[in-house]
Amino acid sequence: MERFRIAVIDDEPIIGREIKRGLSKEPRYEVETFLDGESALQRLVQVGFDLLLCDLRLPGMSGLEVLQEARKRIPSCEVILITAHGSVDSAIEAIRAGAFHYLTKPVKMADLRLLVKRSLEKVTLVREKEALKEALFSQNRPSEIIGNSKAMLNVFRLIEKVAPLDSNVLIQGESGTGKEMIARAIHQRSGRKQQPHISFNCGGFTEELIANELFGHEKGAFTGATETKIGLLEAAHRGTIFLDEIGEMPHSMQVKLLRFVEERKLLRVGGVKQLPIDVRLIAASNQDLKEMVKAHAFREDLFYRLNVVLIQLPPLRARPDDIPLLIRHFLEKYSRAFGKKMKGVSSEVLEILSRYPFPGNVRELENIIERAVALSDELEISDRDLPSDLRELSIKNLETEPKLTLEEMEKKYIQEVLAKTHHHKSLAAEILGLPRTTLWRKMKQYGLE
Ligand SMILES: Nc1ncnc2c1ncn2[C@@H]1O[C@H](COP(=O)(O)OP(=O)(O)OP(=O)(O)O)[C@@H](O)[C@H]1O
Ligand SMILES: [Mg+2]
C-alpha cells in the first residue's frame, strides 16, 4: 500500500487537530501538524512530505513563502493553501506562486478530502515518472553516491566527463570522503567496466612487497618464489587499477611506478621479458600531494603523470547541505539491513549532526546512523541513540549547564574542537575559523597545549 505523508500548518492548533482527525480516517495518510512554517520546513527534508496543507497567514514565514521554500527543497511536493474567506487576491497570488489548489476557511471536510485525494494522485504520477526515468538512467548514474551540494554536483559532472576517457585520475580528500567509492564509479562508467577493477593500498608496505604485489615475480626470482606470480597490474590488464594512499609509496617504488606509467610495460620481479599492459590508473591520497612534492616527499614527475585529472573531494563539514540526504540514505540502508521500519530522526538529532564537524567524514556519519538504527527501539532516532560525546553538543544540554563567561565558553569550545580533531591544529583552526597563529596564542593563554 502506497503511503502519503501530509503536513498541516496552521497557527490555530484546533484547525490542525480537526484536519488531522478528518484525514486520518484514510489509513494511507500519515498526518503531522505544525504551528508555523519554519518547523514544518525543517522536518520536510527529513520526512519527505508529499503534501503540505498550509494556512496563508502565519506568524513568521507566510504561506506563500512556505510554498516557495518547500518547492525548492522537494520539487514534487504538493501544496494546498488555505485562505481566509473572501480574500480572492491572495488566492490568485497563491495560484500564481504554483499552489495546486486553495481552500477558503471555514474548511469543509468533504471538499478537503477530495482536494487532498486529487493532489496526491498527481504526486503518484510524478513519482512513477521519476521512477521510470531513474530506471532508464540508473545504469549510468553513480546512484549510490549521495550528494546535492554544489561541490558534489561538480564532482559528479567531472566523473561523467572523465570516466569514458583513458586519462589517469588523482582523487584527493580527507579520510572517509568517498575516494574509493568515486574510483569505482569511474571504472563502472568507463569502457572498461566489463574488465577487472583492482584496488591496492600502498600504505605501510616496503618497496619489495609493493613491487612483488604490483609486478608479480618469476619462479625462482628469490628464495621462496616457488611459483610464478602474476602481479596486480597484469591482472588488471584492460581494466582499471586503483592505487590507494599513493602518498605512502616509498620513494624507490615511485621510480618504478613512474617507469611503468610512462612505458606501459611491465617486468615481473626476476623476469627478463617486458609485457605490454593496458591499464587505467586511478590514484587516491588523503594528503595534499602537491604539498608533498614541494616538501620533496613525493616525486614531481610521478605527480604530474598521475594528476592528469584531479578530483578533490570536499570534507563533509564543508557541505552541510548533504548531511540530511546522507542521513536519509543510511537510515534506509540500515533499516533494510536490520529489518526495522525507521521513519526519520528527531529534530534534536538533525540539529546535533548539523553542528558536528565530522573529522571522519561520511564514514563517521554512516557509523553513527548504523549504530543508532541498531540501538533504537522507536521509529524515530532520538538523541539517546547517539554516542555520548555527540549528545553533549545538543543545545538543550548547553542551556541547562551553568552559565559560563565568554572566555570560559571559548576555552571549552576550543578544547572540544581540539579533542574532536585529535589535536590536529590546522584542522581545528579551520573549523574554528581562526588563523593558526591565533589558535596557538589562545591555546597558550588557556593552557591547552
Ligand atoms: N557521497 C557518499 N554517498 C554515500 N556513501 C558515501 C559517500 N561518501 C562516502 N560514503 C561511504 O562512506 C564510507 C567511506 O567511503 P570510502 O571508503 O570511499 O572513503 P575514502 O575516502 O576512501 O576513505 P579512506 O581515506 O579512509 O580510505 C563508505 O562506506 C562509503 O560507502
Ligand atoms: Mg579509501
- Domains belonging to the chain, first-starting first, are 4-137 (3.40.50.2300), 150-312 (3.40.50.300), 316-399 (1.10.8.60), 402-449 (1.10.10.60)
Is 285 close to ligand 1, i.e. is its CB under 6 Å away? Answer: no
Three-class SS state of 203? coil
Is 363 close to ligand 1, i.e. is its CB under 6 Å away? Answer: yes
The DSSP symbol for 385 reads G
CB distance 43 to 347 below 8 Å: yes
Going by C-alpha positions, the residue among 6, 3, 4 that lies closest to residue 79 is 6
pLDDT digits (tens, 9 = 90+) for 393-402: 776 555 555 5
Residue 131 CA to residue 44 CA, distance in Å, equals 21
- Is the peptide bond prior to 196 cis by the omega test (within 30 degrees of 0)? no
- For the cut 50, the answer to whether the pLDDT of residue 72 exceeds it is yes
Tell me the percentage of the chain whose pLDDT exceeds 70.
92
Most confident of 21-30, 268-277, 319-328, 361-370: 361-370
Pocket probe mutation, ligand 1, options 180, 197, 245, 322, max atoms within 8 Å of Cβ: 180
Q: Which atom of ligand 1 is nearest to the CA of 145?
A: 3
280, containing H or E segment: strand 280-285
- pLDDT given for residue 143 in this prediction: 60
Of residues 311 and 82, more confidently modeled? 311
- pLDDT given for residue 428 in this prediction: 87
114-134 average pLDDT score: 81
Q: How far is the CA of 179 from the centre of ligand 2 (A)?
A: 6
pLDDT grade, residue 141 (50/70/90)?
Answer: very low
pLDDT grade, residue 85 (50/70/90)?
Answer: low
Contacts of the segment 295-298: beta carbons below 8 A, 24+ positions apart: 297/247, 298/247, 298/254
pLDDT grade, residue 248 (50/70/90)?
Answer: very high
Q: How far is the CA of 244 from the centre of ligand 2 (A)?
A: 6
- pLDDT given for residue 139 in this prediction: 46
- pLDDT given for residue 3 in this prediction: 86
231-258 average pLDDT score: 94
Residue 139 CA to residue 143 CA, distance in Å, equals 9
pLDDT digits (tens, 9 = 90+) for 163-179: 999 999 999 999 999 99
pLDDT digits (tens, 9 = 90+) for 428-444: 888 888 888 889 999 99
Q: What does the mean pLDDT of the chain come to? A: 88
In the block, cell 543545545 appears at 395
